[in-house]
């Protein structure tokens, strides 16, 4: 069985070596991606922009591939089967994976899923109202009610693409992006990504 904690342990220093922050690491099964291979997704960002451009993704992809290859040559197999490595930027409707993500996006709409029931529900959607770093609690307003959600219970969370979010996400690095792309919300939400095929 693949040890995702071990993969993060290997990937994070490579991310930091390029001056980036690690946002998320996920290994998707074949059925999840509708493909014959697994996909190892590494999501990272520049701290100053909250994104990566395609050149950043390519550079990070090569570093991670080289590190994994070196470990395999030394006898440590991180992923048994063939897989694709996908290195990407978070995009505007980004996942919220760290406490600082919730603190940074207070006032914006988000969707949160929990590992267990809280007030007889696992899913919340609404404006982020606050993040209490001392208690690790997220306040989210859903249908006029403010819920206190423990960060420790969050299994999946992301921002919802809204006009307010798009406005707050500018200025971004627009190198290589056509002006008309900024009229298309789907183009704004789509992160840059770089894919590499990896053999088992």
Q: How many CB atoms lie within 10 A of CB 87?
A: 30
Strands, E assignment, 72-144: 83-88, 109-118, 121-132, 137-142
User: Which residue has better confidence, 120 or 171?
Assistant: 120
Q: In what order do the strands lie in the sheet with 38-45?
A: 21-28, 38-45, 83-88, 193-198
pTM greater than 0.85: no
**Extents of the domains making up the chain:** 4-92+187-198, 99-160
Q: Which fold has domain 99-160?
A: SH3 type barrels. (2.30.30)
- Taking phi over 0 as left and psi of -120 to 50 as alpha, with beta for the rest, 11 belongs to alpha
| pLDDT tens sequence across 19-47 | 999 999 999 876 555 566 889 999 999 99
Angle (deg, nearest 10), helices 4-17 and 54-73: 130
Kind plus residue range of the DSSP H or E element containing 46 = none
Instruction: Tell me the average pLDDT across 137-163.
Output: 97
Please answer whether residues 192 and 57 qualify as being in contact, where contact means their C-beta atoms are separated by less than 8 angstroms. Answer: yes
pLDDT at 188 over 60: no
Q: How high is the pLDDT of residue 161?
A: 95
- For residue 16, pLDDT over 50 is answered with yes
Instruction: Answer yes or no: is pLDDT of 133 > 90.
Output: yes
- Are 154 and 148 within 8 A, CB to CB? no
CATH topology for the 4-92+187-198 domain: GMP Synthetase; Chain A, domain 3 (3.30.300)
**What does DSSP say about strands 38-45 and 145-150: parallel, antiparallel, or unpaired?**
unpaired
- Whether 184 shows a pLDDT value over 50: the answer reads no
Give the Cα-Cα-Cα angle 98, 190, 10 (nearest 5 degrees).
45
Over 80: is that where the pLDDT of 139 sits? yes
Q: What is the C-alpha to C-alpha distance for residues 123 and 156, in angstroms, rounded to an integer?
A: 10
Strand partners, 84: 39, 197
Give the model confidence (pLDDT) of 77-86 as tens digits.
Answer: 998 888 899 9
pLDDT band with cut points at 50, 70 and 90 for residue 192: low
Q: Give residue 80's pLDDT.
A: 84
Torsion of CA 165, 85, 194, 110, to 10 degrees: 0
- Is residue 52 pLDDT above 60, yes or no? yes
d(CA 45, CA 52): 5
The confidence score (pLDDT) of residue 191 equals 55
């Amino acid at each position: 069985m693949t040890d995702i904690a071990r993969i993060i342990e290997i990937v994070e220093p490579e991310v930091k070596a390029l001056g980036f922050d690690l946002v998320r690491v996920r290994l998707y099964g074949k059925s999840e991606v509708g493909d014959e291979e697994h996909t190892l997704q590494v999501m990272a960002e520049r701290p100053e922009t909250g994104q990566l451009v395609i050149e950043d993704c390519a550079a990070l992809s090569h570093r991670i591939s080289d590190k994994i290859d070196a470990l395999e040559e030394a006898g440590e197999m991180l992923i048994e089967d063939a897989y694709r490595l996908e290195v990407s930027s978070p995009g505007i409707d980004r996942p919220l994976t760290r406490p600082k993500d919730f603190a940074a996006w207070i006032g914006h709409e988000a969707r949160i899923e929990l590992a267990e029931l809280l007030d007889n529900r696992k899913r919340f959607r609404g404006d982020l109202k606050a993040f209490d770093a001392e208690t690790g609690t997220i306040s989210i307003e859903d249908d006029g009610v403010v819920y206190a959600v423990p960060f420790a219970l969050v299994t999946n969370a992301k921002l919802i693409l809204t006009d307010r979010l798009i406005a707050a996400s500018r200025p971004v690095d627009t190198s290589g992006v056509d002006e008309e792309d900024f009229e298309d919300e789907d183009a704004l939400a789509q992160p840059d990504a770089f894919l590499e095929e990896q053999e088992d």
